[in-house]
Amino acid sequence: MGSKGSTLIVLNLKTYLEGTGEGAVTIAQACRDVAESAGVDIGVAPQLPDLYRVASKVDIPVFSQHLDGVGAGGFTGHAFAQSIKDAGAVGTLINHSERRLTLADIDASITAAKGVGLSTIVCTNNIATTAAAAALAPDYVAVEPPELIGSGIPVSQADPEVVTGSVDAVAKINSNVKVLCGAGISKGEDLKAALQLGSVGVLLASGIVKAKDPKAALEDLVSLI
């Protein structure tokens, strides 16, 4: 793992064609190489069918894009925590704005993930939902105003108060929960600003996955820390 503090970068591959199948492996390899050279922690969140493919080929933290709070049994079409763990994942995203859950479902997903030893990143969209998520004691909350996701406009510039406000709210509720910053993050100045606002890292996607040269984009991302 990296040595520059506890900075964490998680790259969500979503369902972008560039990040599927062997493309997911190639991007994960770029993440691993940049993480090693820069001394930071970079993880990837591929699609569920690519979890094992990436985890078995690349020595990098792998996160599921989703996890359901169900146990073993009659639950067709769900993302089962134990199977995600067995595929090689170390953690999971929960409640991404493109896969929203109810508060009860978020709680169940966190509980299921913790039950098999997976770390949890709960995505939120404002200070109030960040505070509610922190009360459920995930490992991280990632605040991402949905209108900025994929916009190329970083939340650290467009709405810095949602980051600082989330950091303050989480500190009051559970100081063990760490805050990530997301939405529109793609450049070194974006990551630097996110850290200055009090987050411990970023959750990002299209700015890297869809870049002409993802490795070069990653190198730029970590260039100022």
pLDDT digits (tens, 9 = 90+) for 101-141: 999 999 999 999 999 999 999 999 899 999 999 999 999 99
pTM of the model: 0.94
Residues 6+ away with beta carbon under 8 Å from 117: 85
pLDDT digits (tens, 9 = 90+) for 3-43: 455 899 999 999 999 999 999 999 999 999 999 999 999 99
Catalytic residue among 144, 147, 189, 219: 144
Catalytic residue among 18, 36, 78, 96: 96
Using an 8 Å Cβ cutoff, are 155 and 184 in contact?
yes
State the CB neighbour count (10 A cutoff) for residue 21. 14
The pLDDT assigned to 72 comes to 94
Using an 8 Å Cβ cutoff, are 49 and 15 in contact?
no
Going by C-alpha positions, the residue among 207, 72, 78 that lies closest to residue 149 is 207
Residue 148 has pLDDT above 80, yes or no: no
Known catalytic membership, residue 144? yes
pLDDT digits (tens, 9 = 90+) for 76-105: 999 999 999 999 999 999 999 899 999 999
**Percent of the chain surpassing pLDDT 90:** 77
Known catalytic membership, residue 96? yes
Nearest-5° Cα angle at 122, 117 to 125: 180
**H-assigned helices in 48-187:** 51-57, 81-86, 103-115, 127-134, 155-158, 160-173
8-221: CATH topology: TIM Barrel (3.20.20)
CA distances from 138 to 11, 42, 54, 122 (A): 19, 19, 24, 7
pLDDT digits (tens, 9 = 90+) for 156-195: 666 678 888 899 999 999 999 999 988 777 888 889 988 9
